[in-house]
Structure 1
Amino acid sequence: METGRARALAGTALVGGGALTILGFVAAEALYPGYSAADQRISALGAASAPAASQTTFNATMVLSGLLVAFTAYALGSVYERPLFPGVFAVTGVGVVGVGVFPTQTGALHYVAAFVAFGGLGLSALAAAATVRGPMRYVSAALGVAELAAFVAFVSLGGGTPLGIGGLERWVAYLGLAWVLAFGGFLLGGVDAS
């Protein structure tokens, strides 16, 4: 695939996937009466105990977003010579798909997928920082470190913060999504990143 086309497709997929994920979270929350963003995890939106509309919205969002991330990894292989960055991003996409395919009631499969998705977003941002030039290198490094720090806090502290377990998990998710949207815009901006 030609580099300019690959960059445009990857950027479009990232911006689309990031926006889809945010809107999917918001829609699933609206379709779940009594849902608490502080007291419940994000994945509760797709659990068997959630209303059917919330389950369908959340799980479909995760599968579609994960497929967009996996497609982005494929396209990035035509943009960057270093295979580490697209490889880490591909694994992240598999994790995101897994969150939707294996809802929280599936136990270990869900938690492994969520771990891969969250950890993969932070590692993808750091891999991007090691790959690109210019200001996006620093933006990627900062957001990658912040997302991984929030992920460690989420795993170690759980609901033991004023944000609650759901609020702290949103720090992890939204820092990762901030990087996805920023990097997508970077690719679409046509900045020489190779």
Structure 2
Amino acid sequence: MSIAVGLEYRQMNSLDSGPSAPARNRNATIAGVCMVLAGFIAFMGITTAEVLYPEYSTRQDISDLGSTIPPNPIIHEPSATIFNTTMLVTGGLLLIGAFFSYRFVDGRSFPVALTLFGFGAFGVGVFPGNITPWHGLFALLTFFTGGITVVLSSQVVTGPFSVLCWLFGGISLLTLTSVFVYGLVIGAPHPLAFLGSGGIERWVAYPLIIWVLAFGGYLLASPIATGELSTE
């Protein structure tokens, strides 16, 4: 059930004991603000860390900005601090957004997935690339639950944006899955190998960041957040 349709249903149901429309308006607004800030901080934080990292190439893993993996990890400052802080703040904002989404979105699958997405991003900031295996586990959690979150969001939005949620989530999950299929099952070079591991990773991560910004904007412009739908 979509956000707008769900609220309209509650308006017609005199026995509804859920949150009042003004409360749902506030929850949607706060969630939207958190999502927009999370997307902005993630994108600009990664970009800033890239610029300050000596001879950095986008063919490198995004997490190299925090630290490369053992046995000889390389850490460049201030890029490492900027990247790790970016992940901490982004993850925290996603968790707050998930909390307030839980208070107005019909169903629990989307808020739970968003919570795991935020938890994963926060964990990436806590455990840089030199801390194994935790960094890899949290990075995988972030990418996998992020893709699932984006796909599930198609159930709580309306119109063309629902299709875009499927598109962004599908691209991210398909790229992530293909890495394991080609690396572990087929044992052949990935079709996007010419982009480098960092280029492939960005096909997983950037659709998620774009969605975070878009979904936050959707919430802020929705009838719930603007107060166009009200029970009063």
TM-score by length of 1: 0.93
| Cα distance in 2, alignment partners of residues 145 and 179 from structure 1 | 12
Cα distance change of structure 1 residues 89 and 163 upon mapping to structure 2, 3 Å threshold: same
1:78 to 103, 107, 122: 103
- Asked if the contact 1:14/1:184 (under 8 Å) is kept, the reply is yes
1:177 is matched with: 209
| Cα distance in 2, alignment partners of residues 114 and 100 from structure 1 | 10
Q: Deviations over 1:79-136 (max 9, x none)?
A: 1120111011001111000001001111111111001111111100111112333222
- Asked if the contact 2:63/2:128 (under 8 Å) is kept, the reply is yes
| Cα distance in 2, alignment partners of residues 153 and 60 from structure 1 | 30
Runs of 4+ aligned residues of structure 1 deviating over 3 Å after TM superposition are 154-160
1:36 to 38, 57, 69: 57
Residues 26-175 of structure 1: pairs in structure 2 closer than 5 A: 26-38=47-59, 40-47=60-67, 49-157=74-182, 160=190, 161-175=193-207
- Asked if the contact 1:32/1:50 (under 8 Å) is kept, the reply is no
- Which one has more relative contact order, counting CA pairs under 8 Å at least 6 apart? 2
Instruction: Give the % identical residues.
Output: 35
Residue 162 of structure 1 aligns to a residue whose secondary structure is: helix
- Asked if the contact 1:70/1:94 (under 8 Å) is kept, the reply is yes
Work out whether 1:11 is the aligned partner of 2:32: yes
| Cα distance in 1, alignment partners of residues 48 and 147 from structure 2 | 25
| Cα distance in 1, alignment partners of residues 212 and 29 from structure 2 | 14
- Asked if the contact 2:27/2:100 (under 8 Å) is kept, the reply is yes
Structure having the higher Rg = 2
Residue 33 of structure 1 aligns to a residue whose secondary structure is: coil
Q: What are structure 1's unaligned runs of at least 5 residues? A: none
Residue 131 of structure 1 aligns to a residue whose secondary structure is: coil
Residue 130 of structure 2 aligns to a residue whose secondary structure is: helix
Q: What are structure 2's unaligned runs of at least 5 residues? A: 1-18, 68-72, 184-188, 226-232
Q: CA RMSD in A?
A: 1.9
Further displaced range: 22-31 or 45-54: 45-54
Give the total of aligned pairs.
193
